[in-house]
Amino acid sequence: MQQYTIPNTDLSVSRLAYGTWHLGGQWDETPLTDDLKQRAVRLIATAVDTGINLIDLADIYTRGKSDEAVGYALQQDKTLRDKIILQEKCGIVSCAKPEFGMPPRYDFSFEHITKSVETCLQRLATDRVDILALHRPDPLVEYEEVARAFDHLHASGKVRYFGVSNHTAGQIALLQRHVRQPIVLNQVELSLLHHSLISDGILANMDGYRYSNTSGLMDFCRLNQIMIQAWSPTASGRVFGCSEDSTDLEQQLAKQIAAIARTHETTDEAIPLAWLLRHPAGIQPIVGTLNADRIGKSVLADDITLSRVEWYTLLETARGESVP
């Protein structure tokens, strides 16, 4: 698989990443089972064998069990840790160890960030993560505390690089003003059915723009050499129109995806990912399937370059109207 070099790092990453949102099973206190551990081993091995080297995690995923599942896989193959890039996220509290409780909230305090990383490292059975991202913006953030946490984690060797997730341009700029380390990525929801960051660039001066706080975000990240990662790049599979409650638009998009897949003699799974990869920003889609066969079908996106006609046809279908 082709790779990106994340700006301001020495990390060379695959153009697709593997996400672990549901890797640990249920989002409850049920212990991680042997079957789930073995499934994690198989899925991560499949991802690595197909060329994926970035594994995306978060301390809240299945209440910490996704971390544990990846940690188990690392213990089964002692060579695996040096083959992959581990990316953690922290800051959401409601269902995350080391803290629980209502209401759902965010916490970017020094204590929470550092404690979360320590807990994740224990679950992962490793001494470091390559990237730590702040998961969702905390309205009560005190950037001096974040800077202190970043300095502590970086100096101790527990975190090499830092990023954010679901942050606006202004929030990133404020963070950059306070921290010593570069902000190297922003992980955001982005797909054919959630195309706000891309559509923003063609809807300038238009009425009825409905997306929240995305204006200029793609350009800001590109100007500041911040890699965009796309979570839910197939909109939880809705781009394939296979659910019972699929909308007419989703069904039309699925037909268009299938038609373009036939043209390229590839899989349907590859096309919505290839649509993201075609963008010159160097977007990295995060594939979160629990089906090993679908990992193989998804990575075929790396071999496809959509034409402008195909790319805009998919955008038009997803928007339900042509570009202005």
Here the CATH number for the domain that contains residue 7 is 3.20.20.100
Place of tokens 């949102």: 21
Specify if 245 maps to a domain.
no
Residue 58 DSSP SS3:
coil
The number of angstroms, rounded, from the C-alpha of 76 to the middle of its chain's C-alpha atoms is 25
In this prediction, residue 208 carries a pLDDT of 56
The number of angstroms, rounded, from the C-alpha of 192 to the middle of its chain's C-alpha atoms is 15
In this prediction, residue 98 carries a pLDDT of 55
The number of angstroms, rounded, from the C-alpha of 269 to the middle of its chain's C-alpha atoms is 17
4 is catalytic: no
Record the tokens describing residue 309, joined without a space: 């006609």
Specify if 10 maps to a domain.
yes
CA angle 44, 47, 52 (to 5 degrees): 125
Residues whose CB is less than 8 angstroms from the CB of residue 205 and which lie 6 or more positions away in sequence, other chains included? none
Specify if 282 maps to a domain.
no
Specify if 290 maps to a domain.
no
In this prediction, residue 264 carries a pLDDT of 98
Specify if 196 maps to a domain.
no
Place of tokens 């299945």: 62
Place of tokens 């995060």: 286
Specify if 40 maps to a domain.
yes
> Omega into 280 within 30° of 0, i.e. cis?
no
Q: How far apart are CA 114 and CA 91, in angstroms?
A: 10
Q: How far apart are CA 256 and CA 307, in angstroms?
A: 14
In this prediction, residue 100 carries a pLDDT of 63
In this prediction, residue 134 carries a pLDDT of 98
CA 44 vs CA 68, 173, 183, 220, 319: distances in Å:
13, 35, 27, 33, 34
User: Are the C-beta atoms of residues 118 and 97 closer than 8 Å to each other?
Assistant: no
In this prediction, residue 324 carries a pLDDT of 85
By residue range, what is the domain housing residue 151?
Answer: 3-189
Closest CA to 134 of 187, 182, 201, 75: 187
- Please list the pLDDT of the chain residue by residue as tens digits (324 residues): 999 999 999 999 999 999 999 999 999 889 999 999 999 999 999 999 999 999 999 999 999 999 999 999 999 999 999 999 999 999 998 765 556 667 889 999 999 999 999 999 999 999 999 999 999 999 999 999 999 999 999 999 999 999 999 999 999 999 999 999 999 999 999 999 999 899 887 876 665 555 667 789 999 999 999 999 999 999 999 999 988 899 999 999 999 999 999 999 999 999 999 999 999 999 999 999 999 999 999 999 999 999 999 999 999 999 999 988
Domain count, the chain: 1
Closest CA to 65 of 100, 36, 89, 42: 36
In this prediction, residue 323 carries a pLDDT of 87
Q: How many CA atoms lie within 13 A of 88 on its CB side?
A: 34
Q: How far apart are CA 112 and CA 142, in angstroms?
A: 12
Q: What are phi and psi of 116, to 5 degrees?
A: -60, -45
Q: Which of 4, 18, 61, 161 is catalytic?
A: 61
Specify if 324 maps to a domain.
no
Specify if 133 maps to a domain.
yes
